[in-house]
């Protein structure tokens, strides 16, 4: 069974979806540790309740980004992971860190990448007057939110939507479904990073998968 380390910074709703998928057998992998760059966050308590090792590694305790990256990499490697999952991990890591885990590290971003990398995605969608919004799971590369795309989910923006309502809809309707599915695919070997592109079922993807590709247990 594949070993998974999850990186978080906050409440851990995506983490909880992964924990639930592991507990009920949808995810054929073991979450062996949860690491946060902030102490006292709810996500760490979610891990403890599930019997998973929970570690706080506050980035403010380190003199430089490089020092934090090195300590984080060592903490991850100590768990002998096959997969590293960034689940609301609000810390940019450096190139050396990314290269160390490239091909086995995923991130989820609350926009339809390549649109709106970075922060405040929901507000940016409203300001741009866009009609569609959603979330994307991608492999992590050295480019911020720029790695090869695996799966996206989207919905129509409603006239009454605010940044807050979009954030909740993206999380509830998209993220909590597509992230466990993507991690399950990676754990099974169905999805892989090859020559800078994504292969699914042994074939290269020309575009990210969509919600219609979700297996029944993840819908």
Model confidence at 164, pLDDT cuts 50, 70, 90, reads very high
Mean pLDDT of 97-125: 97
What confidence score (pLDDT) does residue 128 get? 97
CATH number, position 21? 3.40.50.170
What confidence score (pLDDT) does residue 143 get? 93
Catalytic site residues?
Answer: 109
Mean pLDDT of 59-75: 97
Residue 208: which domain range? 2-218
Residues near 81 by Cβ (< 8 Å), separated by ≥ 6?
A: 3, 4, 5, 32, 33, 104
Structural domains counted in the chain: 1
- Which percentage of the chain shows pLDDT scores above 90? 100
Helical segments of the chain, H only: 13-23, 42-49, 65-77, 95-101, 121-128, 163-169, 176-188
Rounded to two decimals, the pTM is: 0.96
**Contact call for residues 88 and 110 (beta carbons, < 8 A):** no
Q: Which among 125, 131, 120 has a CA at the least distance from the CA of 158?
A: 131
Separation of alpha carbons 53 and 57, rounded Å: 13
Mean pLDDT of 108-124: 97
Separation of alpha carbons 199 and 78, rounded Å: 29
Model confidence at 21, pLDDT cuts 50, 70, 90, reads very high
Tell me which DSSP letter residue 200 carries.
E
Separation of alpha carbons 53 and 47, rounded Å: 7
**Contact call for residues 191 and 200 (beta carbons, < 8 A):** yes
- Which percentage of the chain shows pLDDT scores above 70? 100
Mean pLDDT of 101-125: 97
Mean pLDDT of 178-188: 98
Q: What kind and span of H or E run contains 193?
A: strand 191-194
Q: How far is CA 207 from CA 114, 146, 180, in A?
A: 12, 14, 20
What confidence score (pLDDT) does residue 81 get? 98
Write down the mean pLDDT value for the chain. 97
Separation of alpha carbons 75 and 189, rounded Å: 25
Instruction: State the DSSP string of 103-160.
Output: TSEEEEESS-TTSS-SS-HHHHHHHHT-SEEEEEEEE--SSTT-SPEEEEEEEEPPTT
Model confidence at 79, pLDDT cuts 50, 70, 90, reads very high
What confidence score (pLDDT) does residue 27 get? 97
Mean pLDDT of 37-66: 97
Separation of alpha carbons 89 and 36, rounded Å: 8
């Amino acid at each position: 069974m594949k070993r998974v380390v999850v990186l978080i910074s906050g409440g851990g709703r995506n983490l909880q979806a992964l924990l639930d998928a592991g507990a009920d057998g949808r995810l054929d992998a073991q979450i062996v540790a949860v690491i946060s760059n902030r102490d006292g966050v709810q996500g760490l308590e979610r891990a403890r309740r599930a019997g998973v090792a929970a570690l706080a590694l506050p980035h403010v305790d380190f003199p430089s980004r490089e020092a934090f990256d090195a300590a984080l990499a060592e903490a991850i490697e100590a768990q002998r992971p096959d997969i590293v999952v960034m689940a609301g991990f609000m810390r940019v890591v450096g190139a050396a860190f990314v290269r160390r885990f490239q091909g086995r590290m995923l991130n989820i971003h609350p926009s339809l990448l390549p649109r709106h990398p970075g922060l405040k995605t929901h507000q940016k969608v409203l300001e741009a007057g866009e009609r569609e919004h959603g979330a994307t799971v991608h492999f992590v590369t050295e480019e911020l939110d720029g790695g090869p795309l695996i799966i996206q989910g989207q919905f129509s923006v409603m006239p009454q939507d605010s940044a807050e309502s979009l954030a909740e809809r993206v999380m509830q309707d998209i993220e909590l479904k597509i992230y466990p599915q993507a991690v399950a695919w990676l754990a099974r070997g169905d999805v892989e990073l090859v020559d800078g592109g994504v292969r699914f079922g042994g074939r290269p993807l020309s575009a990210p998968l969509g919600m219609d590709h979700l297996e029944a247990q993840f819908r």
